[in-house]
Amino acid sequence: MRPQEVIRILSLVYFSSLIHGFRIRLEAIQNFLEHVKNEAETEIQTVLARNESGEFQELDDLDNALHHPIARQEIAARAVYYELNAFIEHELQRSAHLAWLESNRHPGAKGFDLSEVSVESLKMIQDVPFGKITKLIESKYGIRLQELEGGNDFFKMHQMVNAFKHRDGLVDFRRQADQYIRFPQYHQSEIEEAFGAIKTAEAFVLALWRATDRWQEFPESKLV
């Protein structure tokens, strides 16, 4: 067997394993969300049945009984957004790595020759801010990340995750100056939208891999 054939076979095995692992991770996230949703919905139905039987004398009593299962769904949705965002940011860093190594705009020791540099001074792609990561990718590959399949949804999710982390969900009205929003306005974490985010995350990552030549000879059929 020629060396080129061996390399191709090894590449197919590697990328098959990569995609398989990626989809297993998404399936685990989906499974987690389904369990939370099913358990919360069962509890909500039980509370509503208790209300129908006249168990709750005050409206506040019903609201209090519904609070925990509803809150669990909201927390689970946010957890999914965090997990998807972290995974995609890592994939963007990997896609930007070659451009970062080649770039003169990001100086410093980027290798592992510790005879030349100290560990403390070693630069890593993870040090590069998110905005510069996306610019590195777009410049090298001549693409617009937001125009990739699922890209626009990912950037919206990225903004929402930052809002949850840094502003307790408060919408940054400066980023939506062309839209009417009430102030203050908060992002909502809806469990059904989180299910949709899993699907769009898969679409975006696969589109990112294609657009950045993470493989050149990988068969298209393996991506379906």
The answer to whether position 121 is within a domain reads no
pTM of the model: 0.78
User: Is 211:99 a contact under the CB 8 Å cutoff?
Assistant: no
Q: What's the sign of the alpha-carbon dihedral 99, 102, 105, 108?
A: positive
CB neighbour burial string for 124-150, b if at least 16 within 10 angstroms, e if fewer: ebeebeeeebbbbbbebbebebeebbb
The answer to whether position 115 is within a domain reads no
Residue 180's CB is within 10 A of a number of other CB atoms, namely 5
The domain containing residue 35 runs over which residues?
3-90+143-223
Q: How far apart are CA 21 and CA 28, in angstroms?
A: 11
pLDDT tens for each residue of the chain, 224 residues long? 666 665 555 555 556 777 778 889 999 999 999 999 999 999 999 999 999 888 888 888 888 998 999 999 999 999 999 999 999 999 999 999 888 888 777 555 555 555 555 666 677 888 899 999 999 999 999 999 999 999 999 999 998 888 877 675 556 655 555 555 555 565 566 888 999 999 999 999 999 998 987 655 344 444 44
Tokens of 139: 């410049």
User: Is 50:65 a contact under the CB 8 Å cutoff?
Assistant: yes
Say how many domains are in the chain: 1
Residue 194's CB is within 10 A of a number of other CB atoms, namely 25
Q: How far apart are CA 74 and CA 188, in angstroms?
A: 8
What φ, ψ does residue 162 adopt, rounded to 5°? -65, -35
The answer to whether position 7 is within a domain reads yes
> What pLDDT shows up at residue 221?
41
> What pLDDT shows up at residue 189?
66
> What pLDDT shows up at residue 184?
58
> What pLDDT shows up at residue 191?
87
The answer to whether position 129 is within a domain reads no
The answer to whether position 185 is within a domain reads yes
The answer to whether position 73 is within a domain reads yes
The answer to whether position 108 is within a domain reads no
The answer to whether position 49 is within a domain reads yes
Tokens of 156: 């919206």
